[in-house]
Chains A and B, each alone.
Chain A
């Protein structure tokens, strides 16, 4: 158990819709990172939040956005869903930006 939880576990949406995925970090971890993992691939970095501010972003379009809250929870929002957004979305928390990341179980998103 990593102490990192994610909700929901599974989600089905249609193309063009919007989705919000949630993550609850370990207590005391002020950094959260989000990753997208397509089937058969390694996770790809979306962005990182540190103390409620974005602290780096991967090669993802602006329709991927995030929020981090003071209570160690965070959100990943995706607008205008596309079929290629179907993937496992992982959040990872760490005590700081330079420290080991601990992953949640993921949310599997299917876009039809």
Chain B
């Protein structure tokens, strides 16, 4: 089984709608990273969370790490076509050897 599970695996939303992507770990996280990937390209760093209860925002994207540090959510408000892509969470279990979830493919319909 996967150490890091993302849900949903794919998501199609209407432009302007809000959405949430979840990332659940089978063990305590020391650090949780969110990256975005355009199909077949490199990963773009979005945010990093370390402390239980921590919440960070950048433009219309907000990420939270729950108190027990085993789950994180990524929330996008008023989605735009530029938000389309694959969102990956990466867990820092052992000193920056990141373990990634399988990704969530986000499609924004105009």
Contact = CB atoms under 8 A, between A and B. Distances in A.
Interface of A: 2, 4, 6, 31, 33, 35, 40-45, 48, 56, 58, 88, 90, 92, 94, 97-106, 108
Interface string B93-110: 011111111110000000
Most buried by B among A31, A35, A58: A35
B101 A42 contact: yes
Interface in B31-46: 33, 35, 40-45
B100 A97 contact: no
Interface string B11-39: 00000000000000000000001010000
B46 to A, nearest CB: 11
A98 B40 contact: no
B41 A43 contact: no
A106 B42 contact: yes
A101 B95 contact: no
A100 B40 CA distance: 21
A57 B41 CA distance: 23
